[in-house]
Amino acid sequence: MSEPASISTGIAGRYAKAIFELAREDGKLDALEADLGALEAALADSADFRDLIGSPIYSRDQQARAIKVLAGKMGLTAIVTDTLGLMAGNRRLFVLPQLVATLRGLIAEEKGEVTAEVTAASALSGAQQDKLAATLTKNVGKDVKINMSVDEGLIGGLIVKVGSKMIDTSIRSKLAALQNSMKEVG
């Protein structure tokens, strides 16, 4: 891991642990999970929001005021709103994506869940995702949530990542393996 990435992860981890502990003590993990959904949507949908948290051209004051207004509009809990304000004051908003991911992991661990990153050649139906989740739950021993993405370059099949394990049944990888074995022969 590069040094800036590990620094960002470390900063995000400290904020995430504090937020998580406060929310757990107050019995507000469900509200925290809703806040994370709102923040993920804002990060995914708004280039202006991503600019606000990542650009050095905004002062601490400007970031803090903007975050306070946005948190109010998004209906975020006081814990998350106050933490975002503190992060803005400390010029740490740039770690927000890592903070959200770390909090998702802490909440999943608390619930005994694990997230499977699934990449498919075409979108899976709800029934297919449920069947895959059930199969993974049997193998992993924990409830599995699926984070689905589509990559048409796979041609067919799936790539499933659960924790440090990866299963690649894509046609693209099988063709690459066949190509490599053919190079070895000739």
pLDDT at 1: 46
Is-contact 63 52, C-beta < 8 A?
yes
Write out pLDDT tens, residues 161-186.
Answer: 998 899 999 999 999 989 998 888 86
Q: What pTM was estimated for this model as a whole?
A: 0.71
Residues in the chain, pLDDT under 70: 1-5, 186
Is-contact 157 130, C-beta < 8 A?
no
What are the residue ranges spanned by the domains of the chain? Answer: 3-109, 112-185
pLDDT at 185: 80
Q: Which among 105, 110, 109, 111 is positioned nearest to 147, based on CA atoms? A: 105
Q: In the chain, helix, strand, coil percent, each to 5?
A: 70, 15, 20
Is-contact 15 92, C-beta < 8 A?
yes
pLDDT at 4: 63
pLDDT at 186: 63
Fold for 3-109, please state it.
Answer: Peroxidase; domain 1 (1.10.520)
Residue 33 CA to residue 43 CA, distance in Å, equals 15
The amino acid that residue 12 corresponds to is A
Q: Which residues, listed in sequence order, are joined to residue 119 by a DSSP beta bridge?
A: 149, 159
pLDDT at 132: 93
Strands (E), 6-134: 113-120
pLDDT at 8: 79
